[in-house]
Amino acid sequence: MYWSRDHAGATGKLIVAIDGLENRGFSVNHQRHEIGQLGPHDENLAIDTVWIGPTNAKKLLLSTSGVHGVEGFAGSAIQLSQIDDLRTPSDLPEDTAIAFVHVMNPWGMAWLRRVNESNVDLNRNFLKHGEEYSGEPQGYAKLSPLLNIKKYPKPLEPFIFKAYLYTLKNGYSETKQAFAEGQYRRPKGLQFGGFKLEKGPQILLNWLEENLTHVEQCNCIDLHTGLGKSGKDTLLVDIDVNSPRFTQLKQRFGEKITGLDSGTGLAYSVRGGIHCGVEDRFPNIEWAGITQEFGTIKPFPLIKALRAENCITWWSELTPQQLLNHKSRQKLLSAFRVDELKWERALIDNGKRLFNLALADLQTQNERKD
């Protein structure tokens, strides 16, 4: 009941869920922030923000979804299940509010792309103040001809073999880092971080500016899919794994806490990630920023799907509607949203678990300080 077939459906479910919250006595401030783009049904696309509880709360649990559009199917479902779990206003601890940012990249979710309307990966777009939107990681130029193709691949093209060979020659960690870090040079290429702060991120930062005036502590969960074993979650934090802060986060949120280090583990370091960009702009707040990643399919098939979809988007004459219905978009959807009941349940369960843990954690923060 939480899973939607398209962005319009997800928005409809959110509005019903908010009605439910209000009927149960919660104080709710819902805002729709239009991004100036249309969806496939000619609907005006918007980012929805939902603030639940006192507007002057000092503690905030913030949940964001759909920064990578097509990953918003999972993020939206998890958020809807969490809203549904809020039964009475007394569930909210004292001096605490909960805020949902529902689908940060509505265009990408509506049109089944991971990037936004400008081909920008929004999780590479939140550069810190003073950082420039230019350059690319070492190794990206070499990798580009393999990734950014102009001819739609034939069904039997051995991409996975080619990619495997490439990583053997160039190193797995190095290739992963070169691919994933974010590039600011090739606007039609994969992992493009943009030439400026995009509209969606700007809307989020403005909204935070208006609403975080009283907040002193914020646990922030950003929901993603595509990395890790199918249905399993990893809690990624952009913090040095050898720092005391990392150890502290492990104590608070458990063994699933993982650093962004291409050498040792699953992930890679990125430029312009949402947590870093937001924390940079609100230095007086004590943040715990966690990316909750749920596994779908293996990395090479996933990159294969991204590569084919990006190719057809830029190097064909297809209309937006034809692209939406093209098999490459449908394959991209199944790479980031597994259509299995077991997977769906695992996401909802693990989503709720972290959410409840992060809410309870806010209450123990004062004790820890004392």
Shortest spacing between CB 227 and Zn ion, in angstroms: 7
How long is the chain?
370
Give the footprint of Zn ion on residues 250-269 (CB under 5 A): none
Choosing from 176, 224, 307, 329, the residue that interacts with Zn ion (CB under 5 A) is 224
Cα angle value 320/12/124 (rounded, 5°): 55
Q: Which stretch binds Zn ion (CB under 5 A): 165-173, 203-211, 222-230, 261-269?
A: 222-230
Which one, 71 or 279, has the nearer CB to Zn ion?
A: 71
Shortest spacing between CB 9 and Zn ion, in angstroms: 21
SS3 100: strand
How many chain residues interact with Zn ion (CB under 5 A)? 3
CB atoms within 10 A of CB 14: 22
Which one, 71 or 198, has the nearer CB to Zn ion?
A: 71
- Report phi then psi at 172, rounded to 5: -70, -50
Which one, 59 or 337, has the nearer CB to Zn ion?
A: 337
68 interacts with Zn ion by CB under 5 A: yes
Shortest spacing between CB 92 and Zn ion, in angstroms: 29
For Zn ion, the nearest residue by Cβ is 224
Partnered with residue 46 across adjacent β-strands are: 34
Contact yes or no for 173/297 (Cβ under 8 A): no
Which one, 101 or 215, has the nearer CB to Zn ion?
A: 101
Amino acid at 65: S
Which one, 197 or 302, has the nearer CB to Zn ion?
A: 302
Shortest spacing between CB 179 and Zn ion, in angstroms: 14
33 interacts with Zn ion by CB under 5 A: no
Contact yes or no for 290/233 (Cβ under 8 A): no
Partnered with residue 289 across adjacent β-strands are: 220
Structure tokens belonging to residue 155: 């069904």
Contact yes or no for 261/112 (Cβ under 8 A): no
> Which stretches of the chain bind Zn ion, using CB under 5 A?
68, 71, 224
